[in-house]
Homo-oligomer: A and B are copies of this chain.
Amino acid sequence: MKLAALLTSAGINTAVCVVLFSLYSILRKQPSFVNVYFGAKIAQVRSRQQDAFCFDRFVPSPSWILKAWETSDEEICATGGLDAVVFVRMIVFRLCITANSAVMEFSLKNLSIALCYVYEPLLHCSKLTLLPRIVDSFRIFAIAAIVCNFLVLPLNYFGKEMQSHHIPAETLEVFTIVNVEEGSRWLWAHCFALYLISCCACFLLYLEYKSISRMRLAYFTSSGSNPSYFTVLVRAIPWSREEAYSGTVTRFFRNFYASSYLSHQIVYRSGSVHKLVVGIHSVLTETGTMCKILKLTPRELHIGSNSMRCGLCGTTASFSILPMDAEGDKGRSDFGGSDLRKKESAAALVFFRNRYAALIASQSLQTRNPMSWVTNISPEPDDMYWPNICVPYRLLWIRKIAIYVASMALVAFFIVPVSLSQGLVHLDKLQKTFPFLKGVLKRKAMSQLATGYLPSVVLVIFMYMVPPIMLLFSTLEGSISRSGRKRSASIKVLCFFIWNVFFGNILSGSVIERFSKIFKDVNFLLATAVPSTVTFLLYVFILRNKDVTTYGTMTFPYHTEVPRILLFGLFGFVYSTLSPLILPFLLVYFSLAYLVYRNQILNVYVTKYQTGGTYWPIVHNATIFSMVLMQIIAMAVFGLKKSTVASSLVIPLIILTLLFNEYCRQRFQPLFQQIPAQILIEMDRQDEQNGKMKEIYQKLTTAYTQFKSNSHTLGDPMPPSHNNCKLEDLEINPGSTF
C-alpha cells in the first residue's frame, strides 16, 4: 500500500471524526435530548428545564472535552465505580506506552509537555506519593522516545533494502524493519528499543497494579455498608423429605454457625419456558439493541420484564406472588410438601451478624460432600443474576464444559468469514469477482476507499455480533452475578479478537506480506475505532423516540470495550519496534478514546453494580501476553534478518518478562480473588463501636428482592444503588426468620 492511500484514508477518518464531534457538541446542548446524553446524571437529579432558545446551542464547543479532561479519578470513581477507573487507567496506560515510541513528529520538549498532560489524572489521584515515581517513569519515557523515534525509524528508512522512491509515492514498507538489510549491524538499535519499551511497560504495569490494588482496598472500606459483605449465597442445599429447604438451612446454620447466623432468604424459582427468552432479553438489554429488535413500547417492555425475571427452572410461564415464609404463618405449614415447597429452589441467601463470619462461611468446605452446601460470598443486590442461582448446582460443571467447547467452536468457526473478508481487501480480486465494479474501482479515490474501508466494514460487523453471543454464553455458563457474567464474556471476546482479528487477519500471510498488512490495520483502527466510540451516541439519538427510559439504565459495556482497547494495545506493542509508523495513529485513537469514554462514564451510563476492579488482572495478563508476543515476533524477525546476536539477546528479556508477571501474580492477584480478613474485622469493630449494626441488620431484610419491578421514574432522587428497584410493583418479601 502506498503512503498516499493511507493518507487518504486518514483524511476521511479525520473529517468524519470532526463532523461527529461537532454534531455531538451541538446535540448535547438541545434540551429535548437531555435524557439521552445525561442518562446517568438524570438518574440522580432532575435536570433543570432550560428550554430558552439561544444561539450558543448551535455552536460546536469543546466544553465537554474539557470537562472530560478535567475530571479527577475520584469523581470517575464516584460516578462509574472502580471498574470505570480501571478502564480509564487501561487507556492511559496504553496511551503512555504508545506515546513512548510514537510521537516522532514532536520534539522532545513537546513530548515532555504532552506526557505531563497525560499524567495529569494520575497526579490528581494521589498528588504527593505518585509524583516522584512519575518523574522517574518520565525519564525512562524520554530515553525511550529518543531511541525509538530518532533511531529505529531512520534506520528503517535508510536501510537500503528497497529502492528509495519519492516520499509520497513510497510504499509503507520503507518505514518498517523489512527495509533493513539482512545481517545489518544496526539491528541492535531495534533490540535496544525492545528492551526499553519492555522495561517501561513493566515498570508502569507494576505502578498501576500497585495503585489499583490500593484503590481496591479503599473500595472495600468505602463500601462497608454493602449488604453483600454480610451475605453468603448457599447452593446445593440437600433435599429432605420431611422438611422444606428453609428448615434445612435454619437447622444447618443454627448448628454450625450458631453465634453468627442471623437469618436467611430462600431463592424461589419460576417460569422455565422463558429461559432462553430471558437470556436473550437480558443480553439485548445490556447491549442496548433490545427495542430495535423486539419493537416494544416502554410499557410492554416493562410488563414483559416482570414475567420474565427468573426463568430457567420452574414450569409455569409466569410466577405467582409468593407469601411470606412458612415460619410466619402456621396455617399453611399443614400442606408441607405442596405448592410453596415446589417453588423453592435449592439455594438461599444466608445473612450473618458480621462481615468476617460471612467471609469464613464462604471460604470453608462445609460438609463431607463437596457437591452440597456450596457457599460463596453473595454479589451485591443489583448484581445478582437470579435465573442462574436457581440452576441445580450439580449441572453447572456440564454447562461450563459445554460452553467452553461452544466458545472454542465459535472462535474456530468465525475464521472462515474473516478470511473471506481478507480476500475482499485485494482490489484485483474484487474486480475479478464483480466485473461490473471495474469501472468504478478504476477511479483512484474509489479504489483507495475500497482498499481502506472494505476489510474494516466486514470486521466491524463481526465485532458487533460476537460480544452479545459471548455474553449469552457466559449467561448459560451459570455465573451468579451480572458483573461476573460480563467479566467472563470480556475474556471470551478478548480471546476471540486476538485469535481472529490479530492472528487470523495478520499472521496468516507470508512473513513479508505480514508487514504490508500492518498499514491496512491502521485504517482499520481509525475506521472502526473512532466512529465506534461515537456511533453509540448517534445510535442513542436515532432510537431516542422509541423509549427514552431504557437508556438511563444502561450499564457500561465492559465486555465489548475492554477487549477492544486491549486488542489495539496488542497492535501497538507488536509493531512498536518493527514499524513505528503505526504508533501516531494509535496515539490519536487512545487520546480520543480517553476523552470519549470518560465523557460517557460521567454522563451516559449508569453504574448499578461493579466488580471492584477485577478487570485489572485481565488487563495485566493481556498486556504481558502482548509484550511476550512482541518479543517473540521481534526475535523471529531478527532471526530472519540473520542477526543471531540480536535474536538471542531477546531470550533473557522474555524470561524476565515472564518472571515479572509471576511476581505480580504472587504479590497482587490474591487481593482480586479474596477479601483480606483484616479489613472486614476492622469494619466490623468500627460498626459495633458506633452502634451501626442494628441499622445494617434492618437494611439486610429488604436488601435482596428477587422479584421486583424493573421500572423507575426518571429524575427521581434515588440512592445510586437502588435507582432501579423502586419496589412499587409487586415484590416478594424474603423468607426471613427475623
Contacts of A669 in B (CB 8 A): 370
Contact of A63 with B by CB under 8 A: no
| Known contacts A368-B679, A678-B367; A666 and B256 CB within 8 A of each other | no
Complex CA–CA separation, A366 to B398 (angstroms): 34
Q: Could you tell me the distance in whole angstroms from the C-beta of A222 to the nearest C-beta in chain B?
A: 15
Q: Is the interface of A mostly helix, strand, loop or mixed?
A: helix
Q: Could you tell me the distance in whole angstroms from the C-beta of A738 to the nearest C-beta in chain B?
A: 25
Within 8 A of B (CB), among A350-371: 359-360, 363-368, 370-371
Contacts of A256 in B (CB 8 A): 677-678, 681
Question: By the criterion CB–CB under 8 Å, are A366 and B678 in contact?
Answer: yes
Question: By the criterion CB–CB under 8 Å, are B676 and A365 in contact?
Answer: yes
Question: By the criterion CB–CB under 8 Å, are B217 and A364 in contact?
Answer: no
| CB-nearest residue of chain B to A220 | B368
Contacts of A360 in B (CB 8 A): 360, 363-364
| CB-nearest residue of chain B to A401 | B662
Complex CA–CA separation, A670 to B375 (angstroms): 13
> B-facing mask of A316-335, CB < 8 A → 1, else 0?
00000000000000000000
Question: By the criterion CB–CB under 8 Å, are B366 and A676 in contact?
Answer: yes
| Known contacts A370-B668, A370-B670, A370-B671; A364 and B663 CB within 8 A of each other | no
| CB-nearest residue of chain B to A398 | B659
Question: By the criterion CB–CB under 8 Å, are A365 and B662 in contact?
Answer: no
Contacts of A363 in B (CB 8 A): 360, 363-364
Name the one of B365, B398, B662 contacting A675, with C-beta atoms under 8 angstroms: B365
Contacts of A666 in B (CB 8 A): 370-371, 397
Contact of A667 with B by CB under 8 A: yes
Contacts of A364 in B (CB 8 A): 359-360, 363, 674, 676-677
Q: Could you tell me the distance in whole angstroms from the C-beta of A652 to the nearest C-beta in chain B?
A: 14
| CB-nearest residue of chain B to A676 | B365
Question: By the criterion CB–CB under 8 Å, are A667 and B365 in contact?
Answer: no
Name the one of B368, B676, B678, B679 contacting A676, with C-beta atoms under 8 angstroms: B368
Complex CA–CA separation, A368 to B675 (angstroms): 9
| CB-nearest residue of chain B to A682 | B256
Complex CA–CA separation, A363 to B371 (angstroms): 19
Contacts of A667 in B (CB 8 A): 370-371
Complex CA–CA separation, A663 to B394 (angstroms): 9
| CB-nearest residue of chain B to A400 | B662
Complex CA–CA separation, A38 to B440 (angstroms): 96
| CB-nearest residue of chain B to A393 | B666
Within 8 A of B (CB), among A532-560: none
- Measured CB to CB, the residues of A under 8 A from B are 217, 256, 359-360, 363-368, 370-371, 397-398, 401, 659, 662-663, 666-671, 674-679, 681
5 pairs of residues in contact across A and B, judged by CB atoms under 8 Å: A360-B360, A360-B364, A365-B670, A365-B677, A366-B676
7 new A-B contacts, CB < 8 A, other than A363-B363, A368-B679, A397-B662, are: A217-B368, A256-B678, A256-B681, A360-B364, A365-B675, A367-B676, A401-B662
